[in-house]
Amino acid sequence: MKTVITLLLAFFTLSAIAVPSRNDCNYYLDVERDFKCGFKGYPLKFGYRLCEKYLEAQPGMTRAVQRWFPKIRYCLQNYLETERASIRDCKDLHRKAINSHINCYVQTGFCDLSVLDQAQIVQVTAFDILNPDVMGLSLRVKAACMSK
């Protein structure tokens, strides 16, 4: 009986449609299920993986960063949701998702955080800075903050 209940719970969990969330990263798994970009595609390699890293780091951050994380998490996921119907393929998904980061970071108040808070956020993805997308985003967000 316990096995049947476990299987039913797994089925409903896997078949449920995830929605943008302030509190979890499951939305990216739903996007991956639809687009099938694989482990090197945006939903798993970038969206879900980094979202989970930030979610794990959130409790150890300052209060300001703890308040900011849910805002950015929701903004990035919600942007994908609003664009989802117009996304043609994994390459288009990657491009649109990456480009959404600049506006979401600015709109959610990243630029208003202290330099120390911003450094905490960047430190979570320190090893990812070698990724051209992450490096480019960092520079573009910094430029957007300076022009704000």
pLDDT tens digit string along 44-62? 999 999 999 999 999 999 9
Q: Domain limits at 64?
A: 19-147
pLDDT in tens, the chain (148 residues): 544 454 344 445 555 678 999 999 999 999 999 999 999 999 999 999 999 999 999 999 999 999 999 999 999 999 999 999 999 999 999 999 999 999 999 999 999 999 999 999 989 987 887 788 878 888 899 999 999 7
Distance CA 108, CA 74 (A): 10
**Residue 5 belongs to a domain:** no
**Residue 115 belongs to a domain:** yes
**Residue 13 belongs to a domain:** no
**Residue 97 belongs to a domain:** yes
**Residue 108 belongs to a domain:** yes
**How many domains does the chain contain in total?**
1
| Residue-wise DSSP of 64-107 | HHHHHHHHHHHHHHHHHHHHGGG--SHHHHHHHHHHHHHHHHHH
Distance CA 45, CA 65 (A): 23
How many other C-beta atoms can be found within 10 angstroms of the C-beta atom of residue 78? 17
**Residue 95 belongs to a domain:** yes
Quick one: tokens of 65?
């960063």
